[in-house]
Chains A and B, each alone.
Chain A
């Protein structure tokens, strides 16, 4: 079975930032702008707008789906809070500070134009 003519590569990107910087909202916005949100996901966002967005659609809800992440009113920020446990446990067990908060997303991009590759046995040793 021949492989596809235009192979697609996987691109993974992470957003990093401090609490409430807008990491999840950025990813939500990228998905919205690239028209990757389906109709029923949009409806679900609209339904949860009153509870978590103060009346406006909160695009962070696309990635922050768990109850713990959406419980703004009680605890404060969403996704960062869930990571908090990992942070305190790491600090207790290893004694080192843990400083990265992130959320991640995956999309497909076409690969860059390929340069001709030589088989390893043909490559000359560079001394």
Chain B
């Protein structure tokens, strides 16, 4: 006989499905930001469940920096095709070509430049809502976000100008030109995400599991050695992210805990081969998930500043 009692994972799943259905009801042109990472994979599964038996009624959007792990890109394309969804990809290189953004001299990471590309894509397709897999336990600026996070006509986040969310009532009213970001996974923790992946038997990119890779040490982290530069017609996109003579290169068994791109992701030394091992490792972790992200360490309020400029 079934019980009326929901355990915590079921409760979180129900809450997220409710949020997704509220988005479908309240917005005209929503989109799902799908990067291929573990949070977006959970969002896809939740969207499948929320809209079953029809297809997911929203396109997927991904903003690429050009420095992604090739395994991630391959996984993303395959998964979008499996679901029969429309995948919209906008890259930073295209933005350079169109003149939407200019590369900052001296800065290798293109994380900041993703902001104008995202805002440009939102304007191009006139999306009024973007669903992302951000969670409150990831970072302190994300901890202050509501489920429905309002962005003004310039795409900026103002933490003092958000709407109250009483119980499960969400305010989806927008003026033309304004945008909303929705985070159905707000109350999930890293452990919840992995347990959900185990429970639903979801496929994740292979870089989350331990594999052999050449890494070099920089700023207290092991960074992956980027693929060799073979295209002589273009300048090396990984210039500055290659190991110098002083930095030791080592072939090690490692995996990623959180995926940014090849330049800003720290690899961790770990033998975890499947989801059960990963869960055991996360349970015993002493460092937060995003501790290995170089883009968060740029300054004390790095995430808050990026959100105020329009980051998701």
Contacts and interface: CB of A to CB of B under 8 A. Distances in A.
Is B a genuine binding partner of A? yes
Nearest to A62: B140
Nearest to B164: A86
Contacts of A82: 159-160
A19 interface: no
A111 interface: yes
A111 B5 CA distance: 10
Report whether over half of chain B's contact residues are helix, strand or loop; otherwise say mixed: loop
A87 B245 CA distance: 58
Contact of B159 (A47, A66, A106): A66
Given A65-B140, A65-B143, A117-B4, A40 B287 contact: yes
What's the interface size class on B, roughly? 20 to 34
A63 to B, nearest CB: 7
Interface in B262-312: 285-288, 291, 300-301, 304
Contacts of A92: none
A84 B148 CA distance: 21
B98 interface: no
A67 B8 contact: no
A9 B8 contact: yes
A10 B304 contact: no
A39 interface: yes
A18 interface: no
B171 interface: no
Contact of B288 (A7, A38, A63, A119): A38
A71 B160 CA distance: 14
A65 B8 contact: no
Interface string B1-33: 101110110111000000000000000000000
B164 A7 contact: no
Contacts of A66: 140-141, 144, 159, 301, 304
23 contacts: A1-B199, A3-B7, A4-B7, A7-B8, A9-B7, A10-B8, A10-B11, A10-B12, A38-B285, A38-B287, A39-B287, A40-B287, A40-B288, A41-B288, A44-B300, A66-B140, A66-B159, A67-B304, A82-B160, A85-B160, A108-B8, A111-B5, A117-B3
Q: Which 10 A-B pairs have the closest CB atoms?
A: A65-B140, A7-B7, A40-B291, A38-B288, A8-B8, A85-B160, A39-B286, A40-B287, A10-B8, A67-B301
